[in-house]
Structure formats: structure tokens, C-alpha cells
């Protein structure tokens, strides 16, 4: 069983940023290329960006297995709409297929239900085929598509998926 803890300290923020760099470079480079991965890491997943997101009400949780960080998630609660944005859920390649992602998703769903959220939603790169299939297997459905300019000449070309919880 993995240990999932809320990110609150600067050292935990740095650990998430380091984990993001490792996971993103390995997983996303074949999908969106080195340059966009680097741009997105700096803009959205650096220690500075994560700390700023925490100040804005985002929640990050980091997952450890036997004292090694193996995954993380980012959540954005929207109390007015009764929805929880699953902004990020990433696990190291060395533990993919071992149930870590399922445990993190279960944690997210339990956390969301306990706070009376009725819908969990996310965006996922439309070309991230295995991840899109994983979300389908876990009860998410595609409700829309979005192509968003994120600056630097880059776009996020995503599906919007939801799951009633």
C-alpha cells in the first residue's frame, strides 16, 4: 500500500517538481517533443509554479512506496459547481501497471466524495492513447475537446473527460 500525503512543505514541492521532470521527460517527449515538455515543465511544474498553484487553492499530493516517491496528483476544487478538477495524476514508469495509479485515483475519488463533489473532470492529451484508455477503463467519458494556446507557440490539444462520483 502506498503512502499518499498532502504537499505542504518546500521540500515536498521540490520533490513533486523533480518527479514531474523525470516522468514528463520520459512519458511526454514522444508525444509532444522535448521543447514543449521543457516549456510546460518550467511554466506549470517547476517548484515556483507549484508553490504558486498551492497559493491559489490547488492541492498536491505525493505518493511514496517504500520511502521512494513514485507519483503525484494535483487537484483543483470548485465548490460552486460541485466539481473536482483532476489536474494531474502521474506515476513513474517503473511502477506503471502495479496499481499505484489506481490507488491514487481511488484516493482522489474518496477525497472528492468526502467533500460532496459530484463530478471529477480532467483534460488529457488526445494523442496520449494509453492514458485515455486508462481513464475510459475507470469510468470516465469524453464530454468535449479543447485546443488551448499555452504560450511559447505551443498548444494543448486535449479531450475533456468526466466521471460522476
Contact by Cβ (8 Å): 146, 156: yes
pLDDT of residue 163: 98
Written as tens digits, the pLDDT of the chain (165 aa) is 579 999 999 999 999 999 999 999 999 999 999 999 999 999 999 999 999 999 999 999 999 998 899 999 999 999 999 999 999 999 999 999 899 999 999 999 999 999 999 999 999 999 999 999 999 999 999 999 999 999 999 999 999 999 999
Structural domain of residue 125, as residue ranges?
Answer: 3-164
- Residue 50's CB is within 10 A of a number of other CB atoms, namely 23
Strands 83-91 and 154-164 turn out to be unpaired
- Can you give the CATH number for the domain in which 46 is found? 3.40.630.30
Contact by Cβ (8 Å): 23, 131: no
Domains held by the chain: number: 1
pTM of the model: 0.93
10-to-15, 36, 45, 77 alpha-carbon distances in Å: 9, 26, 14, 22
The rounded distance, in Å, linking the Cα atoms of 152 and 140 is 31
What rounded mean pLDDT belongs to the chain?
A: 95
Over residues 74-121, the pLDDT tens digits come to 999 999 999 999 999 999 999 998 999 999 999 999 999 999 999 999
pLDDT of residue 1: 59
pLDDT of residue 7: 98
Strands 119-125 and 83-91 turn out to be parallel
Residues near 5 by beta carbon (within 8 Å), at least 6 away in sequence:
12, 61, 62, 64
Amino acid at each position: 500500500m502506498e503512502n499518499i500525503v498532502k504537499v505542504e512543505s518546500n521540500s515536498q514541492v521540490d520533490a513533486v517538481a523533480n518527479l514531474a521532470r523525470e516522468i514528463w521527460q520520459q512519458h511526454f517527449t514522444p508525444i509532444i517533443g522535448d521543447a514543449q515538455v521543457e516549456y510546460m515543465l518550467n511554466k506549470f511544474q517547476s517548484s515556483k509554479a507549484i508553490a504558486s498553484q498551492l497559493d491559489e487553492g490547488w492541492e498536491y499530493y505525493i505518493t511514496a512506496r517504500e520511502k521512494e516517491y513514485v507519483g503525484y496528483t494535483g487537484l483543483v476544487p470548485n465548490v460552486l459547481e460541485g466539481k473536482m478538477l483532476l489536474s494531474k495524476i502521474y506515476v513513474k514508469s517503473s511502477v506503471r501497471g502495479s496499481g499505484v495509479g489506481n490507488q491514487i485515483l481511488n484516493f482522489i475519488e474518496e477525497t472528492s466524495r468526502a467533500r460532496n463533489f459530484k463530478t471529477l473532470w480532467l483534460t488529457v492529451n488526445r494523442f496520449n492513447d494509453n492514458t485515455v484508455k486508462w481513464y475510459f477503463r475507470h469510468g470516465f467519458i469524453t464530454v468535449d475537446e479543447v485546443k488551448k494556446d499555452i504560450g511559447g507557440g505551443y498548444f494543448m490539444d486535449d479531450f475533456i473527460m468526466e466521471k460522476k462520483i
